[in-house]
Amino acid sequence: MALPNNMAKEMIFFLGDNIRFLRKEKKMTQEQFAEDIGYNRSAVSNWEIDQSMPTIKDLCRLADYFQEDITELLFLDMKNANKKGKTKKVSSNLSSNLSSNLSQDLEENQKKVLEISELENRVKILEVELSAARKELSTKDTLIVSLQEQITLYKQLQATISSK
């Protein structure tokens, strides 16, 4: 997700802390949580310690799993917001910028998925065509061998008749 430099400098990410906080609210270990969302424990651990970030698609899955807004999952210190009784709202400007960037990234990813899908379908069609061509060649090869055998038999029959 590409953000303007001045915006990126001002941002503080809380994703790792929030994943840990929300997981613990559900009273789950990293291993239980990872299994529940279909990942391994080390991926969850890396997210929680900000060693790596989930992809946009995975981020959407996490937000859905926790029933949280993506921007809040990324930028709101949920643990401290809950302790202080603050409402969980990120500035609308930041939220709209992030939503716009996420939408663009999702659209680009969807286009790539469609292109890949189209290519996969074309490959399947070509594989079917290749299989049909091989069968046709195999049939023609069998026909050629059969014709050659018939010619040989007729030549033998002709030689037999000529020698009488």
- What is the percentage of the chain residues whose pLDDT exceeds 90? 29
* pLDDT for residue 51: 92
Say if residues 66 and 33 touch (Cβ distance below 8 Å): no
User: What's the confidence (pLDDT) of residue 3?
Assistant: 45
Higher pLDDT, 110 or 54: 54
Work out the angle at residue 109's Cα, subtended by the Cα atoms of residues 123 and 61, and round it to the nearest 5 degrees. 115
Q: Write the pLDDT tens digit of every residue in 79-119.
A: 887 655 554 555 454 555 566 667 777 788 888 888 888 88
Average pLDDT over residues 55-61: 89
Instruction: Say if residues 134 and 126 touch (Cβ distance below 8 Å).
Output: no
E strand map for 44-164: none
- Integer angstrom CA distances of residue 138 from 40, 128, 132, 133, 159: 49, 15, 10, 8, 31
Indicate the pLDDT class of residue 44, thresholds 50, 70 and 90.
very high
Q: What is the pLDDT of residues 59-89, one digit of tens each?
A: 989 999 999 988 888 888 888 876 555 545 5
CB 50, CB 16: distance < 8 Å: yes
34-61 average pLDDT score: 91
**Residues 27/36, Cβ–Cβ less than 8 Å:** no
Give Cα separations from 143 to 24, 108, 139, 140, 156 (angstroms).
72, 52, 6, 5, 20
- Please tell me the total number of residues recorded for the chain in this structure: 164
Q: pLDDT confidence of 21, banded at 50, 70, 90?
A: very high
Q: How far is the CA of 76 from the CAs of 1, 18, 87, in angstroms?
A: 18, 8, 10
Structure-block tokens of residue 51: 């060693």
Reported pTM: 0.48
pLDDT at 16 exceeding the cut of 50: yes
Residue 136 has pLDDT above 80, yes or no: yes
